[in-house]
Chains A and B, each alone.
Chain A
Amino acid sequence: MLFHEIYGSYFNAVATVLAEAAEGTLTGRKMTAIVQKAAFGESLLSIPAALKEQRWPLLESDFSTPLRHVPTMPLTNLQLQWLKALLQDPRIRLFAPDETGLEEVEPLYAPDAFVFFDRYADGDPFTDAHYIACFRIILQVLREKRKIRVRYRGQRETERCYDCVPYRLEYSSKDDKFRLIASRRGSTLTVKVSRILSVTLLEPYTAEELRPAERREDFLILELTDERNALERVMLHFSDLEKETEKLDERHYRVTLRYRREDETEILIRILSFGPVLKVLEPVTLVEQIRKRLARQRCLLGSENAAEQ
């Protein structure tokens, strides 16, 4: 069972409090800090009181505990079965975890239990030895906070080579691809891991050098007409972006989306896919792009009709 208190924030917070108590280092202030970090906004009203009032007889008034060990919990069947299922995923090779302890465990699901029906077909080669090697080096430099020299094939197949400060690996489930996000001379460098030819470890970077470029973001304002269940479809489709929705009347809504400027073409395509139930109000540049595409489309279908006649 997934929805169970043993996985809960309260149990985790109390375990951390008791670990400090078992070590003899717990204070009232520490308890407050632990609860604030491990539990919820209002947990400070309940967890310390329950322990101090000994409704949960786990902590004595001098902040010691009768427990003999620092609290630990074995992995549950569900957790073990989930880990075993991951071993069937080709992406697990990127990490090579120690499989010991899972030999007799039944996986939670079979590899074909999921179908990602609209995932793009040109995903990364997760089982390719060169790809795995590059991925692991990137992970190592991220762990060790080191600079990197990356040589890769650019968009027009031209070879490029830069020294940069990596700050994360970004994965897209739709593209089934990893991208290295790094900073280079104050701007962001994005490189598809599958296009990397070589990666070289360089020296550790300083906090000064890790300065991610500011994100270039824009707002998009849409008017939504709720036909053919458009409200739900649009709301779900764009729920990967920060958004705000305002009801204008029974059928119309104003949706404000925040998106990154480098994704503008992709956003345009996503909006077009909804047809007439979405109208872009702002930015004007996007409105113009849609106008042009529609005009081009009218010409194309117009010439086809003329040819048929």
Chain B
Amino acid sequence: MAYSELIKNFEKIRGYMREFYVYGFKSREEYDRKSSRSYDNERRRIESWLGEYMSFRQNAGGKTVFLTVDNRGVSHNPLYKAFKAKSFTDNDITLHFYLLDLLSGDEELSIREIMDRISRDYLSHFAYGEELDESTIRKKLKEYEQLGLLERAKDGRELIYRRKNSGVDLESWREAISFFAEADPLGVVGSTLLDKLDGQETHFSYKHHYLLHALDSEILCELLLAIRERRSVTLTSFVGRQNEERENTVFPLRIHISTQTGRQYLLALQTQMKRPLFFRLDNIRRVKAGPVEPRAEEYRELAKAFSGKLWGVSTASLEPEHLEMTIRVGEKEGYIRNRLEREKRCGRVEQPDPHMLRFTADVYDTMEMLPWIRSFIGRIVRLECSNKAVEQRFREDLETMQGLYGGADDAVS
């Protein structure tokens, strides 16, 4: 098939975009899972969509391609462009404009009238305009009805179609859409709305802005619909360590999002064992909605009770572990207490004396807290944990870091 910058299937390009954006050090030869031709086509497509963000580097291992974006400098997520590259047939685009034009205003037409008008009003202007068969038009009308563009009603024994106009004043939403197109996890929908508004000057920029989640928007959308409709889902996920796909049927509960990595996770209940599980959205390949779950409320209550002792997204243990960290603070360092208060996700902060702060928490997996604890290096007076492996890991890491940076007894000032 001839090359096109448009795509039929999103899954393949999703993988390449992720590799180019997150890693960006692999050469063409290292994309061993796919053929070289496939690599060349996908790279060319991404370059066509996102050329201004693409960079190349030549080294001993060959040429590497990577996407690099100053997220703080962009007002609109460039990765949304991938969602605007769906391929279509000649009939799809022709019928799109014919149908919406025919049904403009208050026009209501039956299929027969639509067919006649397409021939008379449009195709007659073109020497080679091919007649469109009834089943193609019927299929398109049904599709547009499902999308919400058209609605149908009965006129006697005949079905008639008309445009479904919502009456929403989109102009009054302009700034809200501009903001939420970036700030909302499903902001790509907002991006499609911005395309309808003339001029896209925005007054917003974003810090700590992660763009990659955009590639998982279709999966997120399907999960949100299933959560709303209280349906179970069958997930087909990629299990990296085993390098294979796996299926799980679960009841989806909520989406947990890290604002510090952009990662998104589905919290779901494995209903037979009543065990909560997390699935990374970027590992999910397909979502198949199942039946409505009659015990949905009960499962949601279970999830609420479970969530109170989560630090991150680990369900390694369902027995809480206890952790206490004491840190030293100076006289004019009230901001450290503020830091603890705003960054702790659970637990409590106490001040046993004017120069000490104690943070205490009970969470399922204290090992998940280590990155946060390390961010207080230089102040930690005491670290105690019911999981001794956490204490040990902290001390070992500290020793390794001291080795990496060459000690420096004399560096204390």
B6 and A10 form a contact (CB under 8 A): yes
In the complex, residue of chain A having the shortest beta-carbon distance to the beta carbon of B372: A273
Q: By the criterion CB–CB under 8 Å, are A181 and B205 in contact? A: yes
Is the Cβ of B210 less than 8 Å from the Cβ of A294?
Answer: no
Residues of A within 8 Å of B169, CB to CB, are: 97-98, 100-101
Chain A residues with Cβ below 8 Å from B21 are 239
Smallest Cβ-Cβ distance to B241: which chain A residue: A229
* Interface status of A208 (Cβ within 8 A of chain B): no
* CB–CB A239/B22 < 8 A: yes
A172 CA to B96 CA in the complex, in Å? 39
Q: Report whether A295 and B254 are in contact in the complex, using a CB–CB cutoff of 8 Å.
A: no
Q: Which of A28-36, A146-154, A195-203, A297-305 makes up part of the contact surface? A: A297-305
- Please name all residues of chain B whose beta carbon is closer than 8 Å to the beta carbon of A80 when the two chains form the complex: 148, 166, 168
Stretch from B121-129, B231-239, B243-251, B284-292 contacting the other chain: B121-129
Residue A287, interface by CB 8 Å: yes
Chain B contacts for A143, CB-based, 8 A:
203
B-contact 0/1 string along A136-147, CB 8 Å cutoff = 000100110000
A269 to chain B: closest residue by CB: B375
Mask, B90-122, CB within 8 Å of A = 1, is 101110111011001100000000000000011
Q: CA–CA, A20 to B125, complex, Å?
A: 18
Measured CB to CB, the nearest residue on chain A to B393 is A275
A51 CB to nearest chain B CB (Å): 10
Partner of B192, one of A7, A10, A46, A56: A7
Question: How far apart are the CA atoms of A9 and B188 in the complex, in Å?
Answer: 13
- Which residues, 141 to 188 on B, are CB-close (under 8 Å) to A? 147-149, 163-170, 172-173, 175-177, 179-180, 182-186, 188
Determine the chain B residues whose CB is within 8 A of the CB of A171 once the complex forms: 179, 182-183, 204-207
A114 to B228, CA, bound (A): 12
Grouping DSSP codes into helix (H, G, I), strand (E, B) and loop, the A interface class, with mixed when no group exceeds half, is mixed
Whether the pair A97, B172 counts as a contact (CB closer than 8 A) is: yes
With a cutoff of 8 Å between Cβ atoms, the chain A residues found around residue B254 in the complex are: 112-115
**Assembled-state Cα–Cα distance A256/B66 (Å):** 13
B166: nearest residue on chain A (CB-CB)?
A: A101
Kindly supply a per-residue 1/0 record for chain B positions 298-311, scoring 1 wherever the CB is within 8 Å of any chain A CB and 0 otherwise.
00000000010010
Is A191 located at the chain interface by the 8 A CB criterion?
no
Chain B residues within 8 Å of A69, by CB: 101, 104-105
**A113 contacts which of B104, B175, B224 (Cβ < 8 Å)?**
B224
A261 within 8 A of B: no
Q: Is A106 an interface residue (CB 8 A)?
A: yes
> Considering residues B173, B338, B379, which has the most beta carbons from chain A within 10 angstroms of its beta carbon?
B173
Instruction: Tell which of A79, A108, A279, A300 touches B328, judged by Cβ atoms closer than 8 Å.
Output: A300
Judge whether A285 is part of the interface by a CB distance below 8 angstroms. Answer: no
A113 and B374: CB pair below 8 A?
no
Interface residues of B in 251-289 (CB under 8 A from A): 254-263, 267
Residue of B nearest to A232 (CB): B22
B374 to nearest A CB, angstroms? Answer: 5
Cβ contact within 8 Å between A279 and B404: yes
The 6 closest A-B pairs by CB, nearest first: A77-B148, A293-B378, A101-B168, A101-B167, A276-B400, A95-B176
Residues of chain A touching chain B, judged by Cβ–Cβ distance below 8 Å, are 1-12, 14-15, 18, 40-43, 46, 50, 54-58, 60, 66-69, 71-80, 82-83, 86, 89, 91-92, 94-95, 97-98, 100-102, 105-110, 112-122, 139, 142-143, 168-175, 179, 181, 231-233, 235-237, 239-247, 253, 258, 260, 269-270, 272-276, 279, 287-288, 290-301, 304
Question: Beyond the given A6-B96, A41-B47, A247-B61, could you list 14 further A-B residue pairs with CB under 8 A, ordered by the A residue number?
Answer: A2-B83, A5-B88, A82-B184, A91-B183, A105-B166, A114-B185, A169-B205, A172-B207, A173-B259, A240-B209, A274-B374, A290-B401, A290-B405, A292-B378
Sample 11 A-B pairs with CB under 8 A, ordered by A number.
A7-B83, A9-B84, A11-B93, A42-B48, A56-B94, A76-B149, A83-B168, A118-B312, A171-B205, A232-B22, A274-B374
